[in-house]
Amino acid sequence: MSAGTVYVPSAWAGEAGEPAVAYDSLRALLESGTVAAPSALCVDEPIDDRLLALVPSGCLLSFPGTGVWDLVDVDRAAARDVRVSNVADYGTDAIAEHTFALMLAVTRSLPRADRRVRAGLPPPEVWGTTLASRVLGVVGLGAVGRRVARIGAAFGMRVLATARREDSARWAAEAGGVHLTPLPDLLERSDVVSLHLRYARGDRPTLGAAELASMKPTAILVNTARGGLVDLTALTEALARGTIAGAGLDVFEPEPLPAGHPLLALDNTVLSPHVAAGAPEVRRRAVAAALGNARDFVRSRSTVDVPR
């Protein structure tokens, strides 16, 4: 058996000298008994409970992203003495920028405007809405949520936010201009609701039919966090009925969206394929950090574990 080895996804083979393994071959590798502690597996695909059960105790799963709670059961891994590491804050700017790209595309109806130009249609007399002086509701004040709050304030928006952690509440108090409020109040008052929460496999959606119904009919929803935070069926119905005015979505549950999904037929949505953190330089940082965590672990058992 090979102890103290770093394994990487096949897609990383050109960026690392470690043994590469395709995701669909990972089960066979683990079943072969080749992997032994203190080895590290760099993975950027879900690790279900059956696959996790094959990972030897004393090994590391190193993910090249921040939100891993829907990719692996972190508590179950800890109970089996399998370490899990993520990469914090590697794509904060990129995700915050993509959040506002979606926000602007929806509020200014940019996809429809583009289609009108290409079809040679004249401009309408009234088109889109502005962000200045509107209310931005930031659900979750982690690194990305904080950056979105600051950008919203720079746009002249009034910023409401929810905060689950003490450090987030402290940041809001020190930042100024960010007003903490419970989620029901935020949903009722916001013109734009932007989601920035962690999501663990099996969690109840933060926004279901009742929460969406409590939003303004003129409001829009932006989600660059995780698709499972929103009940997709309820959201599709709300958008189709005009319960809310629009949505900008980078993530979905399920993902990718199945062909023919009714959300795809709606013209009050702007959709992107989970690419908020996909800029090449951002991806390189994430891969390099995940590799660094894996190599440090193999050398000295040193790594930064995902908080539970």
Residue 4, pLDDT > 90, answer no
- 13 pLDDT band, cuts 50/70/90, is confident
pLDDT score at 125: 82
Same-domain pairing of 194 and 125: yes
Q: Residue 101's pLDDT band (boundaries 50, 70, 90)? A: very high
At 89 the pLDDT is: 87
One-letter amino acid of 80: R
Q: What is the pLDDT of residue 120?
A: 96
E-only strand ranges, the chain: 2-3, 6-9, 20-21, 35-36, 40-42, 60-62, 83-85, 135-139, 158-162, 178-180, 192-195, 220-223, 246-249, 269-271
**What does the block give as tokens for 290?**
């995940």
Asked whether residue 1 carries a pLDDT value surpassing 60, the answer given is no
The mean pLDDT value for 104-131 works out to: 93
Q: Flag whether 136 is in a domain.
A: yes
Is residue 298 pLDDT above 70, yes or no?
A: yes
Q: How many domains does the chain have?
A: 2
Measured in whole angstroms, the distance separating CA 257 from the mean position of its chain's CA atoms is: 16
Q: How confident is the model at residue 304 (pLDDT cuts 50, 70, 90)?
A: confident
Domain assignment present for residue 71? The answer is yes
Given a cut of 90, is residue 32 above it in pLDDT? yes
Record the pTM. Answer: 0.93
C-beta of residue 272 within 8 angstroms of C-beta of residue 98: yes
Q: Does residue 65 lie in a domain region?
A: yes
- Domain encompassing residue 237: 92-271
pLDDT at 14: 62
pLDDT for the residue numbered 127 = 86
The pLDDT assigned to 126 comes to: 76
Please state, for a pLDDT cut of 90, what percent of the chain lies above it.
Answer: 88
Percent of the chain clearing pLDDT 70 (strictly above): 98
pLDDT of residue 16: 65
Q: Report pLDDT for 15.
A: 64
Give the per-residue pLDDT at 308.
65
User: Is the pLDDT reported for residue 79 higher than 80?
Assistant: yes
In a shared domain, residues 101 and 231: yes
Residue 73 has pLDDT above 80, yes or no: yes
Question: Residue 289: which CATH number?
Answer: 3.40.50.720
pLDDT of residue 302: 83
Note the pLDDT of residue 265: 96
For residue 84, pLDDT beyond 80 = yes
Same domain, 213 and 263: yes
Q: Are 27 and 60 in contact (CB under 8 A)?
A: no
Distance, in Å, from the CA atom of 292 to the CA atom of 223, rounded to the nearest integer, reads: 30
Look at residues 158, 200, 203 and name the one whose alpha carbon lies nearest to residue 176.
158
If asked whether residues 146 and 203 sit together in one domain, one would say: yes
pLDDT digits (tens, 9 = 90+) for 197-230: 999 988 999 999 999 999 999 999 999 999 999 9
On whether both 81 and 158 belong to a single domain, the answer is no
Active site residues: 226, 255, 274
Residue 117 lies in a domain: yes
Residue 305 covered by a domain:
no
Co-location of 79 and 152 in the same domain: no
